[in-house]
Structure 1
Amino acid sequence: MKKIFTIFFVFCLVSALNAQTLPNASFENWQEFSFPSYMQPEFWSTPNPFTSQATVLVVTRSEEAYSGTYSARLETKDLANGLFQAPGLLTLATFNVNLTTFEYAFGNGLPLQEKVLSFTGMYKYEGAQDDSASVAIYCYKKDGDAYDTIGMGHAFLHDATNWTLFEVNMNYLNDHQPDTFNVIIMSSGIASLNPGSVMFVDSLSVNTNVGVIDLDMPKLVVNCYPNPANDQVTFEVALPSADRVVSFYDLLGKELGNIA
Structure 2
Amino acid sequence: MKKITIFITIFIAITIKTNAQIPNNGFEDWTNMGSYYNPDLWSCLNDTTALASTFTCEKGTPGNPGNYYLKLTSKTVAGFGVVPGVAVSGIINPATMEPESGFAYSLRSANLTGKWQHMIFGTSQGFIDVQLTRWDVPTLTRVVVASKHYNLTGMSMSWNTFTIPLTYVDGNYPDSCIITLSASGSSPTNDDYLWVDNLSFSGSVPVGISEMNISNITSIYPNPASDVVTLEINNASYEDMELTIYTTTGVLVKSELLKYNQQQINVADLSNGIYTVTLQSKNWKENQQLIIQR
Q: Answer whether contact 1:118 1:207 (CA < 8 A) is retained.
A: yes
Quote the sequence identity (%).
21
Note if 1:179 corresponds to 2:175.
yes
CA contact (8 A) 1:140 1:178 kept: yes
Larger Rg: 1 or 2?
Answer: 1
- Structure-2 separation of matches of 1:86 and 1:117: 32
Q: Distance in 1 between matches of 2:204 and 2:38?
A: 31
Give the 5 Å matches for 1:52-71. 52-71=50-69
Match of 1:97 among 94, 99, 107: 94
Deviations 1:171-192 (A, max 9, x none): 1112132110111010012x32
- Is 1:153 the counterpart of 2:148? The answer is yes
Distance 1:146 1:21 in 2: 25
Any idea what SS the aligned residue of 1:51 has?
helix
Question: For 1:85 and 1:143, how far apart are their aligned partners in 2?
Answer: 39
Distance in 1 (alpha carbons) for counterparts of 2:55 and 2:174: 33
Q: CA deviation at 1:208?
A: 4.6
Asked if 2 retains the 8 angstrom alpha-carbon contact of 1:38 and 1:49, the reply is: no
Q: Is the 8 A contact 2:71 2:194 kept in 1?
A: yes
Q: CA RMSD in A?
A: 2.6
- TM-superposed CA distance for 1:205, in Å, is 0.7
The amino acid of 2:108's aligned partner reads K
Give the corresponding residue for 2:26.
26
Q: Which runs of 5+ in 2 are unaligned?
A: 1-12, 206-294
Cross-structure match for 1:197:
192
Equivalent in the alignment of 1:221 = none
Q: CA contact under 8 A between 1:114 and 1:208: conserved in structure 2?
A: no
**Structure 1's 179 and 208: CA in aligned 2 closer, same or farther, altered over 3 A?**
farther
Shift of residue 53, structure 1, vs aligned partner: 2.8
The question of 1:165 aligning with 2:161 is answered yes
Contact 2:21 2:105 in 1 (8 A): no
C-alpha separation between the residues in 2 aligned to 1:200 and 1:104? 19
Q: CA deviation at 1:94?
A: 0.8
On the 8 A contact 2:133/2:174 being kept in 1, the answer is yes
1:127 is aligned to 2:120: yes
User: Structure 1 residues 70, 109: CA separation in 2 closer, same or farther (over 3 Å shift)?
Assistant: same
Instruction: Summarize deviations over 1:72-116 as a string: whole Å, max 9, x none.
Output: 1110112335x5322111211211222xxxx22322211012112
Q: Which runs of 5 or more structure 1 residues have no equivalent in the other structure? A: 1-13, 211-260
Higher-helix-fraction structure: 2
C-alpha distance after superposition, 1:16-63 (max 9, x if no partner) = 99x9842221111110113xx321111111111112133220000111
Which residue identity lines up with residue 52 of structure 1 in the other structure? A
Query: In 2, are the aligned partners of 1:71 and 1:202 still within 8 Å (CA)?
Result: yes
Q: Which has the higher contact order (CA 8 A, sep 6+)?
A: 1
State the distance in 2 between where 1:77 and 1:207 align: 33
Runs (4+) off by over 6 Å = none
Length-normalised TM-score, structure 2: 0.58
Q: What is the alpha-carbon distance in structure 2 between the residues aligned to residue 116 and residue 73 of structure 1?
A: 26
Once the two structures are TM-superposed, the CA of residue 121 in structure 1 deviates from its matched residue by 0.8
By how many angstroms is 1:204 displaced?
0.9
Q: What TM-score results when the alignment is normalised by the length of structure 1?
A: 0.65
Query: How many matched pairs?
Result: 188
Give the partner amino acid of 2:163.
E
2: CA distance between counterparts of 1:20 and 1:147? 20
Q: 1:114 to 1:76 in 2, by over 3 A?
A: same
